[in-house]
Structure 1
Amino acid sequence: MAFKATLGFFAALAITALLSAGAARAEPVKLVGFGDSLMAGYQLPAADAFPVKLQAALREKGYEVEIANAGVSGDTSSGGLARLDWSIPDGTRGVILELGANDALRGIAPEETEKNLDAMLTRLKERGIAVLLAGMMAPPNMGPEYGERFNGIYQRLAQKHGATLYPFFLDGVVTKANLQLEDGMHPNTEGVDVMVQTMLPTAETFLKSITAGE
């Protein structure tokens, strides 16, 4: 009887351990979408913001993921750097970093933008947080010299920090009026859908890199 009781005890422990392991695996990977109005969902319902729709698309693919929206309309790279530490909570596994568009619109020196993004990538790396760096391109009206200085920022930083690079956040939307709000700069709901589907393969690769080995 003592042997049977002992056997039952260890069997119960094994079942508990398996259930606990299953619960741990089910814990969602926590990401943060950190950026400006393009991330925040300018003039759109909260449910139509990019982080919300990307989360839904990834869950449809079977990924357990939560993406918090830390986009702030009008934010520049310097503003993002100033709020980075308190905007990215402990427990965050990855950040989709999307900043620089407002820098270019304001004609801020690309070297300053690169310096700020570099500092953000460094801080996140120090915290053990992976980064998907969403690139931006300077508007044509800034001229070719400015564009040349600005447009190479993201690839250089991705290589320097080993970050996943998505070259252009507005890919598939920027030249299509039917996918933009009346201001001609921000995506409408349909535009966000296009952005999500276009980024989705890169986002999947990013998630797999975070969870590899688990």
Structure 2
Amino acid sequence: MRRSKYSFCKMLQLVKDILKENPILTSKKIGRPKSYDDVFIISLWLFQTLHKFSYREILEYVSLEGYSVPALSTYHYRVQKLPKEVLQELIEKVGEIFFRRDGKRWKGLVVDGTGFGYREKYVLGWLRGTAAKEVASHVRAVLLVGIDEKKRIIPLSCEVDFAYASEVEMLRRLLSRVDKLLGLPFIGNKGFNAVDILERVRGLGC
């Protein structure tokens, strides 16, 4: 589906369906209920990223669609406080939907580690105002993606940590959340050739 055809209503319903059983979101909270639940905030943030809106633009857009939206400062604060585990589950479940919908399309799996510098525009795009100027370190990420015959990729899982974290340990945590992998070639650099990692990958079906 083209990006321009994907409405906020569809985004909201997709996030609701995927995260409806997430224990972090469904557990009972102590205190006053939130005016806007995490599913709505995540949907706003994803739609904002998809269309490259600013924080102010996404709120104006969704407000014109008839939705009640939080104040700008409240929305920015809520995005900063989104649980990492919930976002990881969202990535993994969406990846699984695409990956298993057309299994014959995919030709291999690739795992790689990367770093995002704190001066990179894309990384700081989710920050607002002086918050961007206060960042003085980079983050490390390990990604597991599937690749099809046209070299297109779909993210299947990710693990994010602070600067200089061990990519091997991050990959171990990532693989611990994976239940099964299709019998495809599994490609990674030499730094990931720990015996327990190789055994885990083989046990997952690769």
> Which TM-score applies when normalising by structure 1?
0.28
Question: Higher relative contact order by CA 8 Å / sep ≥ 6: 1 or 2?
Answer: 1
Larger fraction in helix: 1
> Which TM-score applies when normalising by structure 2?
0.29
